[in-house]
Amino acid sequence: MKHEACSRFPRHFQGLLWSKPIEKLDLTKDKVYIIHQILAFGSFEDIKVLFRLYSKKEIRTVFTHYPKQIYKAAMFSFVKNFILGLKDTILNSQRYVQASVGNN
């Protein structure tokens, strides 16, 4: 599946996947990065594309087994509970939610 991403990603995904050019992203090797970036920063349309690239099972597995501390609290809850249907799954939000700055 090497370098398959460039032909499958909408061009505007470059703004969501800013770590390197999207044509150099590998759908398998960069799966954790791609899934979390789209879930945390993408629109509903972007998330629909994500579900065409990966199965719901793959997305749920990445989300639960490879947490990334990039989510705002509300977005973490929305993705966990509604997008992925993990309401009954206990996850440590501190492993997902960015620390607040200036809210002391």
Q: Residue 104: its pLDDT value, please?
A: 47
Beta bridge partners of 71: 97
Hey, where are the domains in the chain? 5-95
What is the reported pLDDT for 10? Answer: 83
pLDDT of residue 41: 96
Give pTM, 2 decimals.
Answer: 0.87
What is the predicted pLDDT for the residue at 90?
Answer: 96
Which tokens sit at 38?
A: 């789209």
From first to last of the 104 residues of the chain, give the pLDDT tens digit.
344 445 678 888 999 999 989 889 999 999 999 999 999 999 999 999 999 999 999 999 999 999 999 999 999 999 999 999 999 999 999 999 998 765 54
Residue 46 is predicted with a pLDDT of 95
What CA–CA distances, in Å, run from 56 to 9, 28, 37, 53, 64?
18, 15, 16, 10, 12
Q: Helix-strand-coil percent breakdown of the chain, rounded to 5?
A: 55, 0, 45
Position 102 scores a pLDDT of 57
> Could you tell me if 63 and 36 are in contact, meaning their C-beta atoms sit under 8 angstroms apart?
yes
Q: Residue 64: CB partners within 8 Å, gap ≥ 6? A: 86, 89, 91
